[in-house]
Amino acid sequence: MMGYTKTAILMAAMTALFMGVGYALGGGAGLLIALAVAAGMNAYAYWNSDKAVLKMHNAQECNSQVHPDLQRLVHQLADDADMPRPRVYVIHEDQPNAFATGRNPENAAVAATTGLLNRMTREEVAAVMAHELAHIRNYDTLIMTITATFAGAISMLANFAMFFRGGRNGGGNIIAVLLVMILAPMAAAIVQMAISRSREYEADRVGAAICGNPLWLASALEKIQGFASRIDYDRAEQNPQTAHMFIINPLHVHKRDKLFSTHPNTQNRIAALEKLAQEAGIGAAPSSRSNPWG
């Protein structure tokens, strides 16, 4: 219930922001148009935004021929956690990363890049996918996916201001247009930042419980951060509004991660996981194998 309440508040806030942009661009008429568009987007975002995000990243669903080991691993983790089995996808990208999407646990999906499968141990992959299952259990995926949809739409609307020639005062208000161009994407990014940081710590904690060893996830986070800072992820750079959905921020080419950080500091997350392991008396290190899927 809390997940749905947060989502309703988020959708109302993003709708108000969307309408504010519409009013700044077109006055009363712009506000009404923005309201109609926002209503349609709310419906679309709730029912279809997960499919849209998977399509953005060209995700391929796993089956008996496509990465069946990953599908079996995720389904086993879900069974152990007494959760519905999500759909499992693979993304053909070299950067190791992963995300979850879907409006509820009964209609959810997880996606992992081939870079994650090729560069992590089986234990580390299990920990990453457990983290994503935690997002599903906590209903974070609904908020994350809808935010991505609205943030993208608001950014596009703000960019449209460059071509705006009218204005609510008839002659065009260049100051208002400039404010829209600057503040609307900023506001959307701030919303992303606000919903991202606390939920990542909680998903780390719950994910560690699901996989059984906080140190597996700590090791995975350290490796993913290192690779993500060096390996380009072009589709993520083209769709930066989805960056907050990933376990580690996939952006670095255009330094957007320094402007709006949607994730907590990775070293702080690792420290929290190591503390969990210490409290549980767990000291085993992950396997040293580099590719458990070959």
What is the C-alpha to C-alpha distance for residues 116 and 95, in angstroms, rounded to an integer? 7
**CA distance readout (Å), 12 to 15, 36, 39, 99:** 5, 14, 10, 25
What is the C-alpha to C-alpha distance for residues 6 and 20, in angstroms, rounded to an integer? 21
For residue 231, give both structure tokens.
């390996």
**Residue closest to 225 by CA, chosen among 71, 96, 113, 63:** 96
Q: Are β-strands 107-113 and 87-91 bridged in parallel, bridged antiparallel, or unpaired?
A: parallel
**CA distance readout (Å), 39 to 26, 28, 49, 139, 232:** 18, 17, 14, 22, 36
What is the C-alpha to C-alpha distance for residues 86 and 40, in angstroms, rounded to an integer? 27
The single residue of 93, 123, 124, 132 carrying the catalytic annotation is: 132
> How many C-alpha atoms does 97 have within 13 Å on its Cβ side?
29
Task: Work out the end-to-end distance of the chain between its first and last CA atoms, rounded to an integer number of angstroms.
Answer: 42
Active site residue 222: no
For the annotated catalytic residues, the residue numbers are 132
